[in-house]
Structure 1
């Protein structure tokens, strides 16, 4: 699958309304696990999925750092997107996500933590104030 097929399938997916979605997708959305990080004075944004065990970096309609995306979407071409990309698309349409603003160096730190450790302590500190 290529990025164009992923984007077109996500935008045309009939399961993107609330009916017919799998329970695992709905739990991603209604637990506000998606966070939009806006870069201060940059006009850019980064999306993070904060899972119970791992965090993932997401580029809407294009990329997720989860293993399912790497294996089933990129390597095998079995499906055009993972559950996180689908969940993010629905969450964006329903407005069911968190939004924060950070300095660019902090955003870079969050992304590095997610890729290196699978979890961003920096982001969770900000979101949960601990």
Structure 2
């Protein structure tokens, strides 16, 4: 299994097969799309109760389940966060914030890697950087 297998699995996944708890989390808009300045480029994050995760659509998630079961042991093709993102994208169920400073983005990623949660991202979600 590799990134191509994960991408194929996630893109072919039907919303009809998704677990209700996953749909509930997506409905709460736990998926955040970060727009980098005026570029047409996005990075996605899952903002959970205890942990935040960085997601590259259809191919990568920073959660432990993805790192262990998908990348290392190769016992799964994806994690629930990748499926949540697919569902959120298909149904436009995400929040969007704009970041104009690359340092802020690097800080968010660094916090998620080192702390498992990003206070910076959570603060941005409560400011006027939100887009509709």
| Alignment TM-score > 0.5, same fold | yes
Of residues 97, 100, 103, the one that matches 1:100 is 97
Aligned match of 2:73: 76
Aligned match of 1:58: 55
Off by >4 Å, runs of 4+ in structure 1:
none
Aligned match of 2:83: 86
Whether 1:34 aligns to 2:31 is yes
What does the per-residue CA deviation read over 1:57-105, in whole Å, with 9 as the maximum and x for residues that have no partner? Answer: 0001111000000111111111110000000001001000000100222
Aligned match of 1:22: 19
Aligned match of 1:122: 120
Structure 1, 89-98 or 39-48: larger mean CA deviation: 39-48
The aligned length equals 126
Q: Which runs of 5+ in 1 are unaligned?
A: none
What does the per-residue CA deviation read over 1:9-34, in whole Å, with 9 as the maximum and x for residues that have no partner? Answer: 111123x2xx3421221122111000
Q: Structure 2 length normalisation: TM-score?
A: 0.89
CA distance in 1, matches of 2:66, 2:21: 16
Q: CA RMSD in A?
A: 1.3
Aligned match of 1:7: 7
